[in-house]
């Protein structure tokens, strides 16, 4: 089922995100984790891919397991280091695994890696996928603005390009200040963007995770949360 169709039936969706293990790792632990997540009846489970798009085959493999468990998979697909032929191949693997829902991402830049000549932005990837099948496309958005956007206004214009390219709903980068999300929602309203937006949440369960999570995401940590962490950890 298309995730956009689930949004038509429910106002608020909830889901999990899982990461593929290394190519040489055993899948038994992943299968057990997915079974436990399926018991919680999420609306869908998303599956990331490796840096620079590596690990796409594992993404398809895990998506297939999610499908077997009766949950809809959302597969991440990046393009920053991929040619059009690479993306065609990945789409074929995902389609063979029964995937119709794809999160179209540019992906993070990898130092020293050659960047794609076919795709500069996630909107380019979304348009490419839209032309090649009946996929349901999700896009990423950033309540605190994409780090490469010159302004909130430019950030919104880039989101419009994704939607024009075929994106039907958005998932936010994680954030810890609700005010950022509220202001972002207001910018979407003013711009006439009405597609569903799902908030991304990453619980901070260990102090050792805090710096890594903030460093990777670029999200800011409000003073109130920083003080709570200092007090209890």
Residue 218 zone, left/alpha/beta (φ > 0; ψ -120 to 50; rest): left
Cα–Cα distance, 143 to 137 (Å, whole number): 19
Question: What is the rounded distance in angstroms from the CA atom of residue 93 to the CA atom of residue 98?
Answer: 9
How many CA atoms lie less than 13 Å away from 137 in the CB half-sphere?
Answer: 26
On whether the CB atoms of residues 143 and 106 are closer than 8 A, the answer is: no
Query: Rounded to an integer, what distance in angstroms lies between the CA atom of residue 97 and that of residue 110?
Result: 28
Q: Is the dihedral of CA 51, 214, 142, 40 positive or negative?
A: positive
Residue with tokens 């390219």, as numbered in its chain: 165
Residues tagged active-site: 17
Residue entry with tokens 């956009």: 4
């Amino acid at each position: 089922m298309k995730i956009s169709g689930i949004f038509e039936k429910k106002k608020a969706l909830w889901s999990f995100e899982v990461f593929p293990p290394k190519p040489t790792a055993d899948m038994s632990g992943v299968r057990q984790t997915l079974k436990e997540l399926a018991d919680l009846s999420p609306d869908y489970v998303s599956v990331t891919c490796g840096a620079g798009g590596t690990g796409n085959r594992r993404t398809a493999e895990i998506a297939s397991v999610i499908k077997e468990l009766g949950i809809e998979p959302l597969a991440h697909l990046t393009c920053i280091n991929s040619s059009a032929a690479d993306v065609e191949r990945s789409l074929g693997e995902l389609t063979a695994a029964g995937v119709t829902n794809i999160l179209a991402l540019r992906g993070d830049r990898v130092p020293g890696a050659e960047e794609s000549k076919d795709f500069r932005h996630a909107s380019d990837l979304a348009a490419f996928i839209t032309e090649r099948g009946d996929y349901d496309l999700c896009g990423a958005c950033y309540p605190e603005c994409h780090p490469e956007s010159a302004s909130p206004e430019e950030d919104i214009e880039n989101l419009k390009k994704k939607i024009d390219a075929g994106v039907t709903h958005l998932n936010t980068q994680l954030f810890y200040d609700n005010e950022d999300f509220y202001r972002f929602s207001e910018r979407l309203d003013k711009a006439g963007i009405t597609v569903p937006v799902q908030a991304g949440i990453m619980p901070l369960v260990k102090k050792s995770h805090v710096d890594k999570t903030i460093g990777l995401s670029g999200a800011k940590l409000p003073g109130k949360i920083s003080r709570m962490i200092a007090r209890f950890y």
